[in-house]
Amino acid sequence: MKLIYSGKTKDVYENDDHYVLKFKDDVTGENGVFDPGANSVGLTMEGAGKAGLRLTVFFFEKLKEAGIPTHYIDADIEQAEMSVRPASVFGEGLEVICRYRAVGSFLRRYGKYAKEGQPLDAFVEVTLKDDERQDPPISADALEMLGILDHEEYSRLKELTQNISGVVRDELAKKDIELYDIKLEFGRLDDGTIVLIDEISGGNMRAYQNDDYMEPLELEQMMLSSK
C-alpha cells in the first residue's frame, strides 16, 4: 500500500482501486484536552484508533441500512484499517456541522445572542478546511461564488447532513446519550454522487449523558457495549 496522506488522526493509503484509512491513537485537542473542533493533535490515547474505527463501522453500517450513500467498503478492526471508495472533496475540503445544542464554536461566535446549551433544530453550518485560517464558516452563496459548490449541491449536502446526523442522534438516544453537535465530511465519487466520507467516531461529535460531557473513548465504549 502506498501512503498518500498523513493526517492528524489517520493515515491514508492507496491500494489498487480503493483507499485504506488507518486510524491512529491520536485525538484532536489542545494541551491534553479533547476538542472535536481543534486543528491540532491534543493527546494520544492507547486504543483510541481501534475504538474510533469500531464506532465508525457501527454508524456506516446503520447508514447502509438506511440507504444513505457513503464511501465505506469494509474494515479490519485489529489492524485499525477501513477500506473506502476514493472520493474527491469540494475545493480543498469542507466540514459540515449539524447542531442540536449551542456549544463549541457556535457559542464562541454567537454568544451575544445564543445561550449555552440552547436547543438548535438540526442547524447546519459549513466550514472550510483551512487550518491556517481556523476553518472559517462559509455561506451557501460564498460557496457558489467561489466555485466550490453550487446551490443544488449545497441543498443535497444539507439534506444528507440532517439525515445522517438524525441516524446518529437516534442511535445515541437508545443509550440515553444526547447528541449536541457532529462534524461530517463529504466527497464526490467518479460518477458525481455525493457521499459521506471520512469517519463518524467520538472524535467528531459532542455527546452528553445527564448533562455530563462524554469523552470520545467513554462514548465509544458505551455505544458498543451490549447493555
Ligand X SMILES: Nc1ncnc2c1ncn2[C@@H]1O[C@H](COP(=O)(O)OP(=O)(O)OP(=O)(O)O)[C@@H](O)[C@H]1O
* Interface residue list for ligand X (CB under 6 A): 5, 7-10, 12, 19, 71, 84-87, 89, 93, 129, 185, 187, 197-198
Nearer to ligand X, 5 or 110 (CB): 5
Which of 81, 185 has the CB closer to ligand X?
A: 185
Contact 118, 63 (CB under 8 A): no
CB of 180 to ligand X, least distance (A): 20
Cell of residue 140, nine digits: 451557501
83's grid cell: 477500506
Nearer to ligand X, 85 or 169 (CB): 85
Q: Which is nearer to ligand X, 84 or 149 (CB)?
A: 84
* Least distance (Å) between residue 222 CB and ligand X: 23
Which residues, in sequence order, are CB contacts of 99 under 8 Å at separation 6+?
106, 120, 122, 123, 124, 125, 180, 181
Closest contact distance (angstroms) between CB of 75 and ligand X is: 13
Q: Cβ of residue 210: shortest distance to ligand X, in angstroms? A: 30
Q: What is the DSSP string of 129-183?
A: --GGGT--EE-HHHHHHTTS--HHHHHHHHHHHHHHHHHHHHHHHTTT-EEEEEE
Which residue minimizes CB distance to ligand X?
A: 7
